[in-house]
Amino acid sequence: MTDISRRQFLYLSAASPFIFQFSALATQGEGNKSNVIYPRTIAVLQESFKTEMIAYKHYIGYTSKALSEKYPNIAYLFYSFSYSEKVHADNYERILSTLGHEAKPIQIEIDVRNTKSNLQKAAQNELKKIQTTYPDFILELETESCEEAIINCMYSWKSHKQHEKKVKEIRKFSRAFFPSVSSKIEGLNLDFHVCKVCGATIDKAPRSPCVICNKSKSNYQKIERPT
Ligand SMILES: [Fe+2]
Ligand SMILES: [Fe+2]
């Protein structure tokens, strides 16, 4: 099976629910020229924007809760992730704008609990994005080949994969041993930087171009500790 036919097979067999979902969404658009050219891409971009804004708002809420519970390093981690999510959301909003569409406003109630629960929920959501959400988005985008949309979805996916190790550690230990894992995290000397192009998140000052988008290290934003 060639790459293309394998992709088509995967697309038809694994992503058919998405085809119908996104096609239906696309027909609800404004009906302008860009909507006709890239209907599925626009639908995916709207969903991606929504996904990232929901994550952004939750991480901001988690940050405040961690600060109030005296976990400053976990708050710093959440705050840095929130910056990364906002980079992704802003990218989708910008691409939608270039295609003649506005990102749909997001109105959600954020679900913020204690920091232990928030860590577990964050871990679940990050892994879902890595394993399901973004692979499905990318598969759908490939049907229309809008390069900028595909590149930015890849940026988001890789950025979330970058968090995977940290998230897995947190998920593994925070269930039964939260006091020990939280004290371990609080003992770390963290210095988060986020790439303003792709959302890559690193915990040391950058020494080389971005590991995800390969743009200059000058694009990294040092994240100040939340107060
Ligand atoms: Fe994101
Ligand atoms: Fe980058």
Q: In what order do the strands lie in the sheet with 193-195?
A: 201-202, 193-195, 220-222
Q: Which residue has the tokens 């192009």?
A: 197
In the chain, how long is the greatest CA-to-CA distance? 56
Q: What is the mean pLDDT of residues 94-118?
A: 94
- 138 is a domain residue: yes
Name the residue range of residue 107's domain: 3-186
Percent of the chain with pLDDT over 70: 78
Residues whose Cβ atom is located within 5 A of ion ligand 2:
195, 197-198, 200, 210, 212-213
The pairing of beta strand 193-195 with beta strand 220-222: antiparallel
- 226 is a domain residue: no
- 196 is a domain residue: no
Residue 31, pLDDT score: 46
Residue 175, pLDDT score: 62
Strand, helix or coil for residue 171: helix
Segment 57-100, tens digit of pLDDT: 999 999 999 999 999 988 999 999 999 999 999 999 999 999 99
- 218 is a domain residue: no
Q: Which listed ligand is nearest to 198 at the C-alpha? A: 2
- 222 is a domain residue: no
- 153 is a domain residue: yes
Work out the pLDDT band at 196, boundaries 50, 70, 90. Answer: very high
Domain count, the chain: 1
Angle 93-47-163 (CA atoms, 0-180°, nearest 5)? Answer: 85
- 193 is a domain residue: no
Residue 18 pLDDT greater than 50, yes or no: no
- 166 is a domain residue: yes
Q: Which listed ligand is nearest to 194 at the C-alpha? A: 2
Give first-to-last CA distance, the chain, whole Å. 55
Q: Which listed ligand is nearest to 218 at the C-alpha? A: 2
Would the pTM of this model clear 0.95, i.e. be above it? no
Work out the pLDDT band at 4, boundaries 50, 70, 90. Answer: very low
Q: Which listed ligand is nearest to 216 at the C-alpha? A: 2
Cα–ligand 1 centroid distance for 26 (angstroms):
23
Q: Which listed ligand is nearest to 91 at the C-alpha? A: 1
- CATH number for 28: 1.20.1260.10
Cα–ligand 2 centroid distance for 80 (angstroms):
14
Work out the pLDDT band at 6, boundaries 50, 70, 90. Answer: very low
Residue 13 pLDDT greater than 70, yes or no: no
